[in-house]
Structure 1
Amino acid sequence: MTKQQTLSGTWTLLRFMLRRDRIQIPVWFFSITLTILATLISFEELYPSEMDRQAIAGTMATPASIALTGPKLYLEDYHFGSMMSHQMLSMVGIAVALMSIFLIVRHTRKEEETGRSELVRASVVGRHANATAVLIFAIGANLLLGLIVAVGLGVTGVESITWEGSFLFGTAMASIGISFSGLTIVIVQLMEHSRAASGLSSGILAIAFSLRAVGDLGNEALSWISPIGWAQQTEAFLGNDWTPLLLSLFFTIVLIVIAYPLSNMRDVGAGLVRPRPGREDAPKSLSSPLGLAFRLQRTNLFIWSFALLLFGMSYGAFIGEAEEMFGALGDSLEGMLPEMSSGVLADSVAAMFMTVSAMFASIPALQSILRLRSEEKAGRLDSLLSTPVARKRLLASYLLIALSSSVVFLFMAGFGMGITGTQSMGDISYLPALTFAGLAFAPALWVAIGLAVFLYGLFPRKAGFSWAIVVYAFFVLYLGGALQLPEWLTELSPFGHIPSMPAQDFELVPLLALTGVALVLVVIGFIGYGRRDITN
């Protein structure tokens, strides 16, 4: 087969992918660009003078701060540009990498898993057409996003935000996404299922972030084996060194060269890493819908539980440094973060960190309930419901997993934050206080789950819109103060009604109200699910 034949249909498939993601990709672009520009605006308000910027530079030199943000090289001249590269490049790089991972998996392994790829390959489509099309799509999307961000930063006219630095920042950010596009195109050749491919790629992303963090703390060589580290070593807005991006280019090319031969070594729908054979007899737990629901999700639940424990521990290490990190900001902090205007500053920071942790905990909780929609779309519910299994019992099983796991996720985040928070503050009382503060967010997560059940029961094709409640919560938390949003907009988020413990006293009424809202949404969703048809 000639090279031309193996790539036949590439541009047709690319147009099809663009058509399918015409909403999803612009949402990614808008969210990432808005976050970057809003952060730059907030920096102007928080640190108006050079004295303010140098004061925060001193507090950002702690090991915990460096591990979370970036290397010390940006702290030497801490103007707005270096602040953006130091604090934002790593964080938005993670978002861009996740966008690339999900895009590659969605158009490759997911298509093979559902059988659609085999139908497409039955027409005049070359063996490598799909992989080539998705690579063009992913690389092009990252470059376009980098260009949008660069232009957006450049036109702000903020002091020290130069055009060269803006384009380097955008290119460095895009390089992280492009590197993980190349990595994921290799992984989808190895894994047989899309969940495994997404999980392994995301796990390597976490390792890359950890290597960068450890390297920046002392062993600099480790930073140079991470795509995130390469992006930060460009010194955007400072030295403006483009050469580290050559490593990202080389890394991506090598992975793409590896991926194509691997594709020739496997069948469509199969992976090079074969799954281990299962037991001869199914365990008794799989005889119930609840047992099956847990079995399908247990790996994801365990991974997220451990991740949230580490996430809470990393945030807890900052609590003891709250006075030093934020004390110099004075009244400007209150304007940006109004929820921190009362109580001990360390307690207020802990409450803010707990809110962020709870929002992250809502992601796997929603994934858990929306898994049933994925099973329905794949056509697997028909055979299951043909047995003596009531559809409402099936929905109840997934709902129970989602509700109970949300409590576990919040406990792990609060407990992890309490472990390191206790050491950071030298006060053992922070362990039960932060653990309880995490559990208090359970009703907010239940409202998000209830909305998912409501949409799935009445409007199954719109079930994915339940993610809007999480996106809006992040938007209000991070940008509400900077944009001076009115209080009623903040209260549209269920997370805004949870008492900010330990800075505030516990209040039972809002938790009961949120629980009631979640219950109403769930009941309506169950009624709708019982009356509608099962669709594929």
Structure 2
Amino acid sequence: MNALAGTGLLTRLAFRRDRVVVPFWIYLLGITAIGTAYTSRAAFSTLAKRADFAASVNKNPSMLALYGPVQDASIGSVSLWKVGGIAAALVGVVSLFLTVRHTRGDEESGRLELVSAGVIGRYAALTAGLITVVTTELVLAVLVSIGLVALGLPTAGSIAFALGWFTIGLVFAAVAAVTAQLTTTSRTASGLAIAFLGLCYLIRAGGDVGGHDGPTWLLWLSPFGWMSHLRPYAGDDWWVIVLPVAFSAVCVAVAFALVGRRDIGAGLLPDRLGPAEAGAGLGGPLGLSWRLQRGSLFAWAAGFAVYGAAIGGVTENVEDMIGGSNGRDVLEKLGGGQGMVDAFTNAAMSLMALLASAYAVQAVLRLRSEETGRLAEPILATKVGRVGWALGHVLFAVVGPAVLMALEGVMVGLVHGLRSHDLGDQFPRIFWSAIVQLPAVWVIAGITVALFGFAPRLAVAAWGLLGVFLLLGELGPLLELKQWEMDLSPFTHVPKLPGAPMRTMPVVWLIAVAGLLTAAGLAAFRRRDLS
């Protein structure tokens, strides 16, 4: 039998399974790039504003570590500087998750073993998974380049920027193809790939943080550095594309070689056996939830701490980084404050609250993965009740975001307070601006619990709702949407601290709505069948 037999069939199946997820991510990433470019054109309408902005960024180590340098004072370089960093990393994350989903994920669930009983070749699943991811990245690149050109940005630079995203996705899809052969679980395979992505980002940050006098040679060791050397809108060095393509080809070749050296369902790395007896902490559902959720919480906390320190480091200089009155108007629309520092702080905390909401959704959806993986049934067959089991995970969706936002408030407040020599006044103002975001985050968690209880197969739609709230929060004020449209997002009702008066009733209503949604979801889960 041909080793690639059935590849087309598995590819069509993958696209059918991803018919909601893939268009959503293409839309979200595409609108992020195009929307950022659209809003930045007014803020940086003159060469002088762009030059001042580029100079401010390129001498700020915190911004260089987070996003990299502004390559040029052109409108394209300045407009897409930020999404060339963290958003590019998000492209890599989406690509590696999709790759693991259609390779190791199918093996772990037993789906691949089932379909392999038919006319399916040895390399068909890996090939189909890579085709699915590469096609997704290609569609994203084409749409982004067309959108940027339609905004009036140079064609060559727009294509180079889109290709930069494409190559980032290609690299981490290839890396995930390798990690999927090493482990027996999709969670570990994704974790290894994400750890490699984080290492690459840190290497890129180390190469950029010192400016031209720093260790710029590190940029040649990271895929994110290769994207920086591509220089979209600042020279367009096309030959750099050879590096990520060659690296991806090597990783894919390694992945195909490893597929032929193992059995279906097995990994090349040996499984680490646990202790013969469980510790006292695993005697109840809460201890089990802690065991399952702690790794994710620690990883998110580390990211929030790093980002908080970086945001605190640039807050004092925010006025130097905004392109004149238009830039101030844009920031104040997003942040809702009158002062530049207050508006910037509120806008940053609103964005971090959305990220904390992503953690909350992830924590609740762990219930769904435990259910579909047949891991909930043995627990519920004991004296553990359904609500008690579910509450252990829901608790992390409530307490986890509180820990993350408190950590964010502490880091931003501490760094900014020390830099401004006004720690006693600035720290509490910034800390409470982070904490006040929590009721909106809990509403997102409540929506996810309600979906899990009433319509478990649609629980993943919580990611789509979060994406809608992200667009309303980030682009709604700039696009001047109607107020009722803005009110659909719970984050619209959060008091705009610091700088605006504290309003208690919206906070109370958000907490009440979150509680009702959570209670309704748990009650529905108690009465429905396990699926």
TM-score by length of 2: 0.94
> Is the aligned partner of 1:410 residue 2:401?
no
> Is the aligned partner of 1:308 residue 2:304?
yes
Return structure 1 stretches of 4+ with deviation > 6 angstroms.
none
Aligned with residue 12 of structure 1, among 9, 20, 27: 9
Q: How does 1:507-526 map to 2 (within 5 A)?
A: 507-526=503-522
Tell me the secondary structure at the aligned position of residue 244 of structure 1.
Answer: helix
Q: What residue number does 1:419 align with?
A: 414
Deviation per CA, 1:289-333, whole angstroms, max 9, x where unpaired? 11112211221111112221112112111111112223x522553
Aligned with residue 169 of structure 1, among 161, 164, 167: 161
The AA in structure 1 aligned to 2:317 is E
Moved more, 518-527 or 250-259: 518-527
Deviation per CA, 1:168-206, whole angstroms, max 9, x where unpaired? 221121011001111110111112211112122122222
The AA in structure 1 aligned to 2:516 is V
Aligned residues: 525
Tell me the secondary structure at the aligned position of residue 67 of structure 1.
Answer: helix
How far did residue 266 of structure 1 move?
2.4
Q: What residue number does 2:183 align with?
A: 191
Q: Distance in 2 between matches of 1:530 and 1:143?
A: 44
Q: What residue number does 1:503 align with?
A: 499
Structure 1 gaps, min length 5: none
Deviation per CA, 1:90-118, whole angstroms, max 9, x where unpaired? 23311211121111011111111111111
The AA in structure 2 aligned to 1:280 is A
Kept in 1, the 8 Å contact 2:36–2:80? The answer is no
Distance change >3 Å, CA 417–CA 200, structure 1 → 2: farther
Q: Distance in 1 between matches of 2:327 and 2:77?
A: 21
Kept in 2, the 8 Å contact 1:191–1:273? The answer is yes
> Is the aligned partner of 1:152 residue 2:147?
yes
Kept in 1, the 8 Å contact 2:33–2:80? The answer is no
Q: Distance in 1 between matches of 2:253 and 2:242?
A: 16
Q: Distance in 1 between matches of 2:380 and 2:80?
A: 53
Deviation per CA, 1:269-295, whole angstroms, max 9, x where unpaired? 222222321111111221211111221
Moved more, 98-107 or 461-470: 461-470
How far did residue 264 of structure 1 move?
2.5
Q: Distance in 2 between matches of 1:210 and 1:84?
A: 23
Kept in 2, the 8 Å contact 1:319–1:425? The answer is no
Q: Distance in 2 between matches of 1:293 and 1:287?
A: 11
Q: Distance in 1 between matches of 2:277 and 2:479?
A: 59
Q: How does 1:203-352 map to 2 (within 5 A)?
A: 203-217=195-209, 218-326=214-322, 328-335=323-330, 337-340=332-335, 342-352=337-347
The AA in structure 2 aligned to 1:65 is M
Kept in 1, the 8 Å contact 2:178–2:254? The answer is yes
Distance change >3 Å, CA 438–CA 494, structure 1 → 2: same
The AA in structure 2 aligned to 1:60 is V
Moved more, 19-28 or 342-351: 342-351
Distance change >3 Å, CA 197–CA 419, structure 1 → 2: farther
Kept in 1, the 8 Å contact 2:334–2:478? The answer is no
Q: Distance in 2 between matches of 1:23 and 1:466?
A: 12
Kept in 1, the 8 Å contact 2:337–2:499? The answer is yes
The AA in structure 2 aligned to 1:55 is D
Q: Distance in 2 between matches of 1:251 and 1:339?
A: 40
Q: Distance in 1 between matches of 2:176 and 2:337?
A: 46
TM-score by length of 1: 0.93
Kept in 1, the 8 Å contact 2:107–2:113? The answer is yes
How far did residue 357 of structure 1 move?
1.2
Deviation per CA, 1:437-488, whole angstroms, max 9, x where unpaired? 2222221111111111111111111111222342123212321232112233
How far did residue 335 of structure 1 move?
4.4
Aligned with residue 64 of structure 2, among 63, 66, 73: 66
Distance change >3 Å, CA 262–CA 104, structure 1 → 2: same
How far did residue 348 of structure 1 move?
2.1
The AA in structure 2 aligned to 1:191 is T
Moved more, 169-178 or 81-90: 81-90
Q: Distance in 1 between matches of 2:149 and 2:121?
A: 42
How far did residue 85 of structure 1 move?
4.7
Tell me the secondary structure at the aligned position of residue 508 of structure 2.
Answer: helix
The AA in structure 2 aligned to 1:529 is F
> Is the aligned partner of 1:55 residue 2:42?
no
